[in-house]
Chains A and B, each alone.
Chain A
Amino acid sequence: MRNATAGTRIPLALLLPALVGFAFLVLPMVGLVIRAPWSDLLQRLAEPQVGQALRLSMITATIATAVSMVLGVPIAWVLARSNIRGRSILRALVTVPLVLPPVVGGVALFMVLGRRGIIGSWLYETFGFSLPFTTTAVVIAETFVAMPFLIISVEGALRAADARFEDAAATLGAGGWSTFHRVTLPLVAPGIAAGAVLCWARALGEFGATITFAGNFPGTTQTMPLAVYLALQSDPEAAIVLSLVLLAVSLATLALLRERWLTRR
């Protein structure tokens, strides 16, 4: 790509809104850092409910990512490699959670998996257990919202990968599954890793679907974002501390992704 000639001035009509937009994006984060109670930060971080929420968030986001990989990579493969009919419709359906307001996702999950839900009522009658308001529900809500990120990322990686390597594997006697895990998977591993990081970050920040479907119980369903929201009502400084933690995790994720993208070639 060639840059504009060195002397080109940025037109004022572009420069001004760009500066305002930049400030708009960056200032809130700066504000968060400025207002942080740095003096008793460590002490506040050590408070049990902070650790509890952080641990719960990490665990549920990680499980949600794992579930997304187990279910999402095969979906991505079907979308990228198979020629089944209605593939474009399938792709559209899979990406709906990407644009759906998470609260709506939560309500939808409730309709299916709630105690009176289509599958939930059967679960309750047969096994006597109900999913909503449990840690499992948190994982389900996060998976629902975050898995499309992984699918899109892995499908892109599969499309970019040279499918002729799979032909080569076939001529060497490798069947479909063998080719997939011995050739395809290693080839798209960077794409899967990038997708998993995106997916994990999305799951970590999940709020709407979680609070709708899993509620807000400290220790079982109160993840970091929920804790932040709750703390803001009663103890703003605690909210800032929790937010700082999430900000740090987000920046670390971004750094990880950049590393990935910068070192890919």
Chain B
Amino acid sequence: MSLAADIAVQRGSLHLEVAFAVEPGQVLVLLGPNGAGKSSVLRVLAGLLPPDAGLLVLNDAVLDDPSAERHVPPHERPIGMVFQDYLLFPHLSTVDNVAFGLRSKGVPKAQARTAALGWLHRVGLVDYAKAKPGDLSGGQAQRVALARALIGSPELLLLDEPLAALDARTKLEVRADLRRHLSEYQGATVMVSHDPIDAMALADEVAVIEQGRVVQSGPPAELARRPRTDYVARLIGLTLLAGNAEGMQVRLDSGASVAIADPAFGSVYVAIRPETVAIYPAQPHGSPRNVWPARVASATPHGSAVRCDLSGPVPLTADLTATAFAELGLGPGSEVWATVKAHEVEVYAR
């Protein structure tokens, strides 16, 4: 019971060749720059773009097998898809948009509407049932699109940059919502994004795609710790820590606490970028900031920097210049002090 994809497509000058698998209940994020071929992969999974070669299997059903001339058309696939700009049908009300998939399956109108209202209730938009998509905000439209995709209980959920069209503030809120819905969803999810925070916050597995190829894949923390290419290192270096915000500090699940610059409350994520972590051989004193003892667990050079994986009360990833790394005489096992300024800690709702 899972998705297994091994597909090749020629799109203009871009030759796309990727392979991955997703288990039910798991979220795979395809991360990469624009034009890397992420969206084409999603279109192949949806059946909107037949692959030139390969094999696509969803829960023991072969969806694409060009060698056997097998291609299941999109409307016969058990999928739900959220498009980048949502593509809510402008002529239909919100409730009819959500009911669309059930109506396609021949569910009677009244029954489909009742189910759609239930879903609108779940995404907190039942008051907007009669509104037209044009009257919804970006965040609301995203939630309607998600409800529309999930109502048919698809075996595979496809999300194409579901947060890209939102402004920064809405994004935080909608990302937290999306996370909740994804954790309740039983099927496999494949999401395309260019935003590493989406990947860190939502993914069980990340596959980084560059120029049509998967350059590295694995759990997000693993990718952050051991980036295999410069691109991956730049893309997903941040350390993500779960905790509970109590005003000006966040109590981590591990017991340690992190000072933050703006007050926050409740269940949050703390994100720390590796370039904001400073390393000292002895405990530093001075301006108020986060200071933790740490041990260098591993060090991987990439470009002119060295990425250090630090263990301790607050596990961190730090980027040092090669010179600094050498001057400090660091190596695996070195005991150091790590500091991060409070205003360089990002906080967002879990």
**Chain A residues close to B by CB (< 8 Å):** 162, 164-165, 167-175, 178-179, 182-183, 186-187, 189
Contacts and interface: CB of A to CB of B under 8 A. Distances in A.
B109 to A, nearest CB: 12
B101 A172 contact: yes
A187 B75 CA distance: 20
Interface of B: 46-48, 73-77, 79-81, 83, 87, 89-92, 100-101, 103-105, 148-149, 152, 158
Most buried by A among B75, B92, B148, B158: B75
A171 B91 contact: no
Contacts of B74: 167, 170-171
A168 B83 contact: yes
Secondary structure call for the A interface: helix
A171 B76 CA distance: 8
Nearest to B151: A172
Nearest to A183: B89
23 contacts: A167-B46, A167-B48, A169-B89, A169-B100, A170-B48, A170-B74, A170-B75, A171-B46, A171-B79, A171-B81, A171-B149, A171-B158, A172-B80, A172-B101, A172-B104, A172-B149, A172-B152, A173-B76, A173-B104, A175-B73, A178-B104, A182-B100, A189-B91
Contacts of A174: 75, 100, 104
Contacts of A175: 73, 75, 104
Contacts of B73: 170, 175
Contacts of A172: 75, 80, 100-101, 104, 148-149, 152
Nearest to A162: B87
Nearest to A176: B75
Contacts of A186: 89, 91-92
Given A164-B87, A165-B87, A173 B48 contact: no
B89 A173 contact: no
A168 B89 contact: yes
Given A173-B104, A174-B104, A187 B91 contact: yes
A171 B100 contact: no
Nearest to A186: B91
Nearest to A167: B48
B4 to A, nearest CB: 20
Contacts of B152: 172-173
B100 to A, nearest CB: 5
Given A174-B75, A175-B75, A175-B104, 14 more contacts: A164-B83, A164-B87, A165-B87, A167-B74, A169-B75, A170-B48, A170-B73, A171-B81, A172-B100, A173-B75, A173-B101, A173-B105, A173-B152, A189-B91
B71 to A, nearest CB: 13
Given A174-B100, A187-B90, A168 B81 contact: yes
Name which of A164, A168, A174, A175 has the most chain B CB atoms within 10 A of its CB: A168
Contacts of A168: 81, 83, 87, 89
B89 A171 contact: no
A171 B105 contact: no
